Amino acid sequence: MQNNTPIFEKKNVLVTGGVGFIGSHLCERLLKEANVICMDDLSNSDISNIQHLLQYPDFEFIKYDVNEKIDLKDFPELDKFKVRFQGIQEIYHMACPTSPKNFENLKIHSLWANSKAMLNTLDLAVDYRAKYVFGSSSVVYGRVDEENKIFAEDHEGVVDHLSPRSCYDEGKRFAETCVETYKQVYGLDAKMARIFTTYGPRMKLRDGLLIPDFILNALDGKDLVIYGDGEITQSLCYVSDMVDGLVRLMGTGPDIAIVNLGLDEPYKMSEVAEKIIQMTNSSSKIVYEAPLVFLTKKGLPDLRRAKENLDWIPLVRLEDGLHRTIEYTLANKENLALRS
**Strand, coil or helix: what is 201?**
coil
Could you tell me whether strands 131-137 and 34-40 are parallel, antiparallel, or unpaired per DSSP bridges?
Answer: unpaired
Q: Give the separation between CA 308 and CA 289, rounded to whole angstroms.
A: 41
Is 132 designated active site? no
Cα–Cα distance measured from residue 55 to residue 161, given in angstroms and rounded to the nearest whole number:
44
Q: Cβ of 58: how many Cβ atoms within 10 Å? A: 17
As a whole number of angstroms, the distance between CA 241 and CA 245 comes to 6
Instruction: Collect all residues with Cβ–Cβ distance below 8 Å to 175 and sequence separation of at least 6.
Output: 114, 115, 118, 134, 136
Calculate the CA dihedral of residues 276, 313, 303, 159 and round it to 10 degrees: 50
DSSP character at residue 147 = S
- Choose among 120, 106, 143, 115: nearest CA to 72: 120
Query: Among the options 92, 132, 141, 168, which is catalytic?
Result: 168
Chain mean position to CA 138: 11
Q: Which of 137, 135, 163, 102 is nearest to 299 (CA)?
A: 137
Catalytic residues, by residue number, are: 168
